[in-house]
Amino acid sequence: MSFFTVDGISLQFGGLKAVDDVSFSVSKGEIFTIIGPNGAGKTSIFNLISRLYNPTSGRLSFEDSDITEVPPHQIAKLGIARTFQNIELFENASMLANLLVGRHCHATTALWQDMLFMPSVRRAEKAHRRKVEEVIEFLDLQAYRDKIIAGLPYGVRKVIEVARALCSEPKLILLDEPSSGLNVEETDDMSFWIRDIRSELGITVLMVEHDMSLVNRVSDRVLALNYGKVLASGTPSEVQAHPDVIAAYLGA
């Protein structure tokens, strides 16, 4: 079995098939990109993987275990972290607090210990903070450590969301349109970071992306989606040359 497999998954909203019998698998250490026009069902696939939606049919498996029925809050602990297309940060908290929430799946202390702030809690807090500092360093976010999210620029928040996902020390990270809303330089930075996430941290990347130049620069394999169905998959150039993909993008 491979690292991460989606097997014939479908999702129906009323009469709309948002995801229609999609299958693909991602190997360890790969950067795998899903492309497709708006409304193709890309975000829905991510929501299925993070178990926010229940599939109508099909299976998901991660590291040889079936995760189709795992409750959503246990996905992070298994090693799958994600970002959101429209940024879901904790707006009224500092960046540090946001990143520390990313460590939540590694929290081991009980409620009463937290309430009394026992020495074990202090020790764990320090360990969490050390990890968070590594991520801050990695993504160059030092300037925003104590800033409240609500006041930060869009581009910075986008990076903070990636940082929060990294703080959970995932094996697989899902990035939903990491470059949307970013300017050219920010997109460049993002493409370097995505490659570093794979090469330096050894994390497998599954992303949804619209910016084709970014897709071409970082992806190993690409899957094209339209109306919830797979159109083509393969290397970036193969997929872009596929007649169905060209037709879907030109709206023909």
Partner 1 sequence: MRFIFKTDYDQDIRILKHSGYWWSYGILLAVMVATPYVLGSYMQSQLVFVFIYAIVGVALMILTGFTGQASLGHAAFLAIGAYTAGFMQSLGVPFIVYFPLAAVLTGVVGALVGFPALRLHGIYLVIATIAFAFIVEEVLARWESVTHGNEGMRVRTLDLFDIPIPRDSDAFYFLCLLVLVGVSVLALNLLRSPTGRAFIAIRDSETAGKSMGIDLAAYKVKSFAISAAITGMAGVLFAHKMTFISPEMFTLLLSIEFIMVIIIGGAFGVHGAIFGAIFIVMVDPFLTALKDDVPVLVSSIASSLGMAKETATDLRDDLSRIGSAAGLKGAIYGLIIMMFILFEPYGLYGRWLKVKLFFQLFPLYKRATFKRQKTYVKSERNR
Binding site for ligand ADP (CB under 6 A): 13, 16, 18, 36, 38-44
Chain positions contacting partner 1, by CB under 8 A: 50, 52, 71-77, 81-82, 84-93, 96-97, 100-105, 107, 109, 111, 113-117, 121-122, 124-126, 129-130, 150-154, 157, 164, 168, 177, 180-181
Q: Which is nearer to partner 1, 16 or 97 (CB)?
A: 97
For Mg ion, which stretch binds (CB under 5 A), given 18-26, 35-43, 68-76, 210-218? Answer: 35-43
Spatial distance between the Cα atoms of 106 and 125, rounded to a whole number of angstroms: 11
Binding at 41: pick from partner 1, ligand ADP, Mg ion, none (beta carbon under 5-8 Å per type): ligand ADP
The label of the residue with tokens 């620069």 reads 217
CB of 227 to ligand ADP, least distance (A): 8
Distance CA 71, CA 193 (A): 30
196 binds, among ligand ADP, partner 1, Mg ion, none (CB under 5 to 8 A by kind): none
Q: Is 179 in the site for Mg ion (CB under 5 A)?
A: no
Binding segment toward Mg ion, per CB under 5 A, in 19-27, 68-76, 77-85, 118-126:
77-85
Task: Give the torsion sign (CA, 193, 36, 31, 219).
Answer: negative
Nearer to ligand ADP, 52 or 150 (CB): 52
Q: Of 142, 149, 132, 158, nearest to 95 (Cα)?
A: 149
Nearer to partner 1, 168 or 204 (CB): 168
Beta carbon nearer to ligand ADP, 169 or 176 = 176
Instruction: Name the minimum Å distance from CB 36 to ligand ADP.
Output: 6
Long-range contacts of 181-185 (CB under 8 A, 24+ apart): 181/154, 181/155, 182/154, 182/155, 182/158, 183/155
List of E strands, the chain: 4-13, 16-26, 31-35, 57-62, 65-66, 80-82, 172-176, 204-208, 221-226, 229-234
Residue closer to partner 1, measured from CB, 15 or 153: 153
85 interacts with Mg ion by CB under 5 A: yes
Could you give the CA distance from residue 142 to residue 139 in angstroms, rounded to a whole number? 9
What long-range pairs does 129-134 form, CB within 8 A, spacing at least 24?
129/100, 131/103, 131/167, 131/169, 132/96, 132/99, 132/100, 132/102, 132/103, 132/167
Cβ proximity to ligand ADP, 18 vs 160, nearer residue: 18
The option from ligand ADP, Mg ion, partner 1, none interacting with 18 (CB < 5 to 8 A, set by class) reads ligand ADP
Q: Where along the sequence are the contacts to Mg ion (CB under 5 A)? A: 43, 85
